[in-house]
Amino acid sequence: MATRILIVDDASFMRMMLRNILNSHGYQIVGEAENGFKAVSAFEELKPDIVLVDLIMPEMGGIEAVKKIMDMDPQARIIICSAMGQQALVVEAMQAGARDFIIKPFQPTSVIEAVQKLEREEE
């Protein structure tokens, strides 16, 4: 069964880019959200295997979303998506429970490698 992924980013272009990369490698995109609030409710409703979360979003950012998702499910597997120069925020997100991070602009290989790494952790 394909790994089920939730994509969270306020930029629809970034969501589309991730969706295309992941779909082309056989992953199932179960949902998308454009801010942390929607990410938390989508996580609760869809129970994805992996969540890709942008750091900087309106209304509720990635770090807060990671904390709320981890409160719901301490086993949640979350990958942070960040632009260059956001190292301090990446560290904070990792401390909140994210398992890995990928840097924008996305390189398809780094996206797939990060997802595969979390899949291996499950085994």
pLDDT tens by residue, 20-42: 999 999 999 999 999 999 999 99
What's the order of all strands across the beta sheet hosting 50-54?
28-33, 4-8, 50-54, 78-83, 100-104
pLDDT grade for 83, boundaries at 50, 70 and 90 = confident
**CATH architecture group of domain 4-122:** 3-Layer(aba) Sandwich (3.40)
- Measured between alpha carbons, how far is 19 from 32 in angstroms, rounded to an integer? 9
User: Residue 36: CA atoms inside 13 Å, Cβ hemisphere, count?
Assistant: 18
Query: Which sequence spans correspond to the domains of the chain?
Result: 4-122
Query: What average pLDDT score do residues 14-21 get?
Result: 97
Q: Model-level pTM?
A: 0.95
